[in-house]
Amino acid sequence: MAKIGFIGTGLMGLPMAQRLIDAGHSVTAYNRTAEKLESLNGAAIVSSASEAIAASECVILMLTNAQAIQDTLLSDSSVLRDRTVIQMSTIAPDESKSIRDQVVAAGGKYLEAPVLGSIPEARSGKLIVMVGAEPEQFEQWRSILQIFGENPILLGSVGSAATVKLALNQLIGSLTSAFAASLGLVLHENVDVEAFMKILRQSALYAPTFDKKLQRMIDREFENPNFPTKHLQKDIGLFIETAQSANLETASVEGVQEVLNRAIARDLSELDYAALFSIVCPEQ
């Protein structure tokens, strides 16, 4: 069994770290907010990222953003020699490549493996794991990645998985804001919602995320998020920056960004991202 350091035990990191422990691996965990480690059972808890890295052959990152990785992983790069870093957070491809270069310069190895899914999938091991790595790295760490999702997908070298993850998270924002607008109009005109949904479900327009967010939007109940608004806002911003650097037109996505910015300004940052419905369809 592997000795694994796990850095970042937030909403997604905590159940992911627990799955590693339950699979019999030796896990040394660190989180900048120590209270988030209290419900992790069976891990060695340390007070610094350097300790977690030093105690492990492989360190998994599930941190908020690239700056958090810089501040946590790379604050003492000397401990990275002969260690493998598996970066599983959502960051931009250029950020991932930069972190790889710093890890390699410190004598370590690096691969990216962002995931699609939320807390229920993290708990059940049904995340979609996207990998940017060299083929031999992918084979070496495949069994670890399979603990999070049965069929990890090698997409190419570092940067490729980060790109696909941003492309998918852009769809989360765009699909949700588009559905919020349609649902808002149906509600405003007093049309039967279930009749609307029945037609939608039978059409090529349907996406399962619509039903996942439907009741939250109708009830305006956004507590206990699987994916907070602030994280989607961050990811949409990364998508826009990356797409613009590729000379893509981003006007439609910038509209989604504006909705999310207004949601953040309304103190909805910690709530489920379905809270953007409050912006698209304000209460009368």
What pLDDT band is residue 33 in, cutting at 50, 70 and 90? confident
In tens, the pLDDT along 45-72 reads 999 999 999 999 999 999 999 999 999 9
- Tell me what the mean pLDDT of segment 4-24 comes to: 96
In tens, the pLDDT along 113-154 reads 999 999 999 999 999 999 999 999 999 999 999 999 999 999
Rounded to whole angstroms, how far apart are CA atoms 44 and 23? 15
From the number of C-beta atoms within 10 Å of its C-beta (0-12, 13-18, 19+), residue 52 rates as buried
| The total number of structural domains that make up the chain | 2
Q: What is the pLDDT of residue 147?
A: 98
- Tell me what the mean pLDDT of segment 102-113 comes to: 97
Report which residue type is found at 104.
V
Are 25 and 151 contained in the same domain?
yes
Q: Is-above-0.75 flag for pTM?
A: yes
Last residue within a domain, chosen from 134, 156, 178: 156
Dihedral class, residue 22 (left if φ above 0, else alpha if ψ from -120 to 50, else beta): alpha
Are 92 and 231 contained in the same domain?
no
Residue 76: which CATH number? Answer: 3.40.50.720
For residue 270, give the nearest of 238, 237, 234, 227 by alpha carbon. 227
Last residue within a domain, chosen from 123, 156, 189: 156
Residue 250: give the domain boundaries. Answer: 162-280
